[in-house]
Chain A
Amino acid sequence: MQRMSLRFDGIALAPGIAIGKVMALHSSNRNLVPEKRLIEESSKELERFADALKETEIQLASLRDELKTRLHEKEAGIFDAHLLLCADRAILNDVKKLIENEKCCAEYAVYVVSEKYFEVLKNLQDAYLSERAGDIRDVASRIISNLTDCDIRSLGMDDKRIIASHTLVPSETATLDKKKILGIIVETGGETSHTAILARSLGLPAVAGIPGELIDSLQINDRVIVDGFNGRVILNPDNHAEESYRLKAQAADQLRSELEQESRLFPDTTDGFRVPIAANIESHLQMDESRASGANGVGLFRTEFLFLNQVVPPDEESQFNIYKQLLLAADDAPVTIRVMDIGGDKLPRAGSVAVEDNPFLGLRGIRFCLYGRRDLFETQLRALLRAGVFGNLRVMLPMVSSVAEVLETREIIHALQEQLASENKEFVSNLSLGVMIETPVAALQSEHLAGLVDFFSIGTNDLVQYTMAIDRGNEQVAYLYRPANPAVLKLIRNVVEVAESHRIHAGVCGQMAADPVHALLLLGLGVHELSMAPAAVPVVRRAIRSVSMYELEQLAAKALGSASAAEASKGVYDLLMSRAPELITEE
């Protein structure tokens, strides 16, 4: 029977299109509490346990070795930690004791012991150790899989499949045999989750944000289309949809291999203007991905993720090491680090924050830094000042809405520099400091900010939202969200003009820069630099190389006088359609 065709829009994790049968890893298959089966002879059970352990160690070691050649050494380190846990005497002894004393099966014993240690570690109130708690569960479920012969790879993976799961833990993502996987669908996971980074490095299309109930309802022979460009999943597509996606997939493959050849080309327009393209990243693990895309340095390193998942905020030393590593990896290319952008929809677990009626208009960004948790802000600035000596660092302040905020931050930086000098520590004395232009007030007052800073970075996600009074996250109005709205374009044009008269540069690091049509519109408005997710860099580079700055300036001038977003972007859209239609993937 043909099941009904359904379409879901989620978050695009990794580009590409996959069409095929689904393999759902239901949570019940993996996190099932093993039944307490009583056994006759504990010696046989101990042997089964020893075999499963050996099998697990071999798997982990080969996973580690495989990852070492393919990815960052750090990523492989996860499996080193798992191997140590697997061979840990406290766990082994407890499991053996339980099997001998209780005469229970090994699966149950492993489960009970791992849960015991999981609880102990979880309750130690130490961010590092509570992370290790998850590792114990991960290793235990692998051992249990090996005991029950029901691990991912033996779940009937006879042919190529699209993997669907609520979430994928690193060891599962790494187990995925690329030859058998077409694509990935998950419920949870952001652009920088392990799943996303790994999927991109393997060239597998992936989409997150698909409801768990849908994943649970999937049946083994359901056909699915994963559209990793638009973050879309289509369940049981009709013949027409499948055929049209098949053509798109072919074109995408063709385009990808072409774009790979172009990664060393400069982003120059046909009339010779070079537009630096930098990468937006959240983890130093993405540096390889960024370099492979041909991006020049980092235009936005988001630091709030260092804070958001932590029980205890990271201290100066650990932040210093992260920033230093990043700067060294960038090899003197500019690295723009944004201080923690906390508040709005991003709330930390560490430190209590009062509940706000309207968090997007509340204590967020620089306001949180200055008036919420100034202690965390000072620690972060100290780490940045010290790390700055290892590369080309720029520091950026989010959500600035007044001159006073910049002046106050400058004073703090000055005081911290004196402190560091008195401690005989190395630090940068002329820190390059910029502000994000994300609010209409900052855009309109930019001439007063310009004299106080070294650069502007326009954060279009928020600028569009605050200018149009539209919450992108609210599905009832999200379709009205239009980055090319002429009011937004006018604000951007004003910021660029101010920057030029003050001889500082103005870049764009929002989602808008990652869309080829919008990116060209921004260049026409005079934006000096674009920063985007590494995956978008090759597409935007080709778009830039297919047009002239002269044409873009003409079209942007017209766009400024338009009545609507559709009218404003039409000129550039038509131009790109005539020069490089293959780059337009969004509907």
Chain B
Amino acid sequence: MLSTAENSGKVNTAEREVVIGNKMGLHSRPAAEIVRMLSGFSGDVSLSRVDGRGEAADCHSILSMLILAAGRGTRLSLRVSGDGADGVLEKVGSFFDRNFDEESE
């Protein structure tokens, strides 16, 4: 899935690290919220563990993100490619920064 980004030379790619800060981790509600956020964006968005374990998750898929089983404290690399990648990175990244608008205690 990520191959399209590398094949076409002009595609913007943006990347940053995010850390899971809420108590319940990346569970289905925030995952569904991310999918909704990306509904108008056709580019690729992925999350992969910074420690390199497991496969990269497709952020257009709730299931794919759930399978990451990213609990609190997990460091992930968020990668966006496509038109307007920077804006999407900002939007999704800040959702992580806000701990998915959930309690962190």
Contacts and interface: CB of A to CB of B under 8 A. Distances in A.
Contacts of A117: 63, 67
A368 B93 CA distance: 46
A88 B69 contact: no
Contacts of A129: 66, 69
B32 interface: yes
B66 A84 contact: no
Contacts of A136: 63
Interface stretch (B54-62, B72-80, B84-92): B54-62
Contact of A121 (B1, B27, B58, B66): B66
Contact of A88 (B1, B23, B27, B61): B61
Contact of B64 (A81, A90, A317): A90
A121 B67 contact: yes
A129 B58 CA distance: 18
Nearest to B68: A124
Nearest to B38: A89
A550 interface: no
B28 interface: yes
A129 to B, nearest CB: 6
A84 B58 contact: no
Contact of A90 (B27, B28, B61): B61
A81 B67 CA distance: 16
A130 to B, nearest CB: 11
A128 B69 CA distance: 11
Nearest to A81: B28
Interface residues of B, number: 15
Contact of B28 (A89, A91, A132, A317): A132
A84 B69 contact: no
Interface string A119-132: 01100101011001
A81 B66 CA distance: 13
B67 A84 contact: no
Nearest to B36: A84
B66 A89 contact: no
Contacts of A89: 58, 60-61, 64
Interface string B23-38: 1000110001001000
Interface string A220-253: 0000000000000000000000000000000000
B58 A124 contact: no
Interface in A42-97: 81, 84-85, 88-91, 93
Contact of B63 (A88, A126, A128): A88
A124 B62 contact: no
Nearest to B64: A90
B63 A90 contact: yes
Nearest to A125: B69
A76 B25 CA distance: 25
A132 B32 contact: no
Contacts of B61: 88-91
Contact of A128 (B23, B27, B62): B27
Given A128-B27, A132-B28, A85 B62 contact: yes
A274 B23 CA distance: 48
Contact of B69 (A90, A91, A126): A126
A124 B69 contact: yes
Interface string B1-42: 100000000000000000000010001100010010000000
Which of A90, A91, A117, A129 is the most central at the interface, judged by chain B CB atoms within 10 Å of its CB?
A: A90
The list of the 8 closest CB pairs from A to B, nearest first, reads A90-B61, A90-B64, A89-B61, A89-B60, A88-B63, A90-B63, A88-B61, A124-B69
